[in-house]
Chain A
Amino acid sequence: MSSLVEEMVGKALQRGIPLSVQLDLTYRCNERCVHCYLDHHDHGEMTTAEIKDLLDQMADAGVFYLTISGGEIMMRRDFFEILEYARARTFCIKLKTNGILIRKKEADRIVSLGVESVQVSIYSHRPEVHDAITKLPGSLAQSIEAIRRLRAHGIHVIMANVLMVQNVHDYHGVKALAAELGAQFIIDPTITPMMDGDRSILGLNVDEAALREVFQNEALTGNAEEFCAPPQGPDAEALDAVPCSAGHTACYVSPYGDVYPCVQFPLPSGNVRRMKFADIWRDSPQLKEVRSIKLRDMPTCSQCAHGATCTRCPGLAYLEGDMRGPSYQDCEKSYAKTGISSEYLEARKASPQPQRLQLVQIQGLQHAAQNLTARVTESSALGA
């Protein structure tokens, strides 16, 4: 992060401004990725008018960085109408797409609307591996074609490589492909649970040896010695630090108008169909609770040697049942990075957890009102 961006994030934090929002327009998709955490059925997406009203509200609340994602964003027929409206409200926009539906006309339109970047997931440089993950024959070729079109116009393209057992050895090839196409390469070594709490897809996560290989690859992590240095244990400053941006300067809005602290933190915090975005952001008891949590309030992580340097995700911890608790996947990453195991990791290895928690996040409007009380009670109980 540049120092100016850091400064602005600091100011947004002080003033309680939601500087960044991810808005998913739809969960529908033309790919069927094996690791996807979404329910692809349409349970009553926001209409064009509702989304435009939300964009107005978000601009007025101070949102600057807007990530428009899905599902596949271009499955919405009104996608360009929404994008044009969002640009007229001067958001800094990042699009996440698989690129399949970006042909010449669409690429030209994206260019003319001045988005900041377009992120495309590429799982492998080998079609047989990529297409087997997306379950769409020909998808690698089509995604690459879209990247070429966007790059030809000078658009900043980010090629995101999610690592899983199927493509664990292919990131070198994807990185080389990104270089060839003039795209930025990023790697994400974590497969997350389904948003409904189903943890069965976690079996796709790469093993510890593969994680270690990634962390020690200096082309990816910079100085490996520094990156993988043994943990020092949290000092007073770390104990009082904000764990991450979720709920502090950022949040997530689903296609059904549900607001969560982050796309990876499915704690239901309100719905923009029933309340104003700014009121949810300011007054939601769930967001207030998330904001109140510092490392010192986490009984296990505050005592852990990795506490200050761990990438612990509160959303993954929440999906494990306690937003103040550890996240097993981050314990594994801390171990792979440093070779030093946390007590929690050892304990969990000795007694594995159930595969599914009863969380209900994605639902149609018709069910939403009746389930709201239940969801809030449930999440409070989980977060307690």
Chain B
Amino acid sequence: MSEKRYVARSTAIASRVLGDETMVMSATDSTLFTLDEVATVIWEAADGATPLEEIVTKKVCAQYDITPEVALKDAEVLVEQLAKHGLLLLSDKPIAQPASLPRETP
């Protein structure tokens, strides 16, 4: 990936961290998804302002024993999937968030 990609959590979702996993429900069709530990790290960092590459290097690679290339490839697949279900927004520019952006639990 040469271009920067920005990711932001959709406001049309319900979500909660449950231990080291995250439950995410699409408010449009009530489909429930669970994100594992690594996906949760990416999910929580998806603020629309931080490029995906930076999330992967600073959050994922800093915590897990994985090379940036492999992590970024996996992250790309993950965010594409989440975007397909309307849970994440993807853009090559920073994504402005509404005032009522869903806040995550610590």
Q: Which residues of A contact B (CB under 8 A)?
A: 2, 4-5, 7-8, 11-12, 15, 17, 19, 59-60, 62-64, 84, 87-93, 114-117, 156
Contacts and interface: CB of A to CB of B under 8 A. Distances in A.
Interface of B: 11-19, 21, 23, 25, 27-28, 30, 32, 34, 100-106
Nearest to A115: B27
Contacts of A117: 30
Contacts, number: 68
A88 B100 contact: yes
Nearest to A64: B16
B interface majority secondary structure: loop
A91 B79 CA distance: 22
A282 to B, nearest CB: 16
A64 B23 contact: yes
Contacts of A87: 11, 100, 102
B7 to A, nearest CB: 16
A63 B14 contact: no
A203 to B, nearest CB: 38
Contacts of A64: 14-16, 18, 23
18 contacts: A4-B32, A8-B18, A59-B16, A60-B106, A62-B17, A87-B11, A88-B103, A89-B102, A90-B15, A90-B102, A91-B14, A92-B14, A92-B27, A114-B11, A114-B13, A114-B14, A115-B27, A116-B27
A61 to B, nearest CB: 9
Contact of A84 (B14, B28, B32, B100): B100
Chain A CB within 10 A, most for which of B17, B18, B101: B18
Contacts of A114: 11-14, 27-28
A93 B18 contact: no
Given A88-B101, A90-B102, A116-B25, A4 B14 contact: no
Given A8-B23, A84-B100, A88-B102, A62 B18 contact: yes
Contact of A4 (B13, B34, B104): B34
A11 B21 contact: yes
Given A11-B19, A62-B18, 18 more contacts: A4-B34, A7-B34, A8-B23, A8-B34, A64-B14, A64-B15, A64-B18, A87-B11, A87-B100, A88-B102, A89-B102, A89-B105, A90-B13, A90-B15, A90-B102, A91-B14, A92-B14, A114-B11
Contacts of B21: 11
A90 B23 CA distance: 11
Contact of A2 (B32, B101, B103, B106): B32
Contacts of B103: 88-90
Nearest to B13: A90
Contacts of A12: 18
Contacts of B13: 90, 114
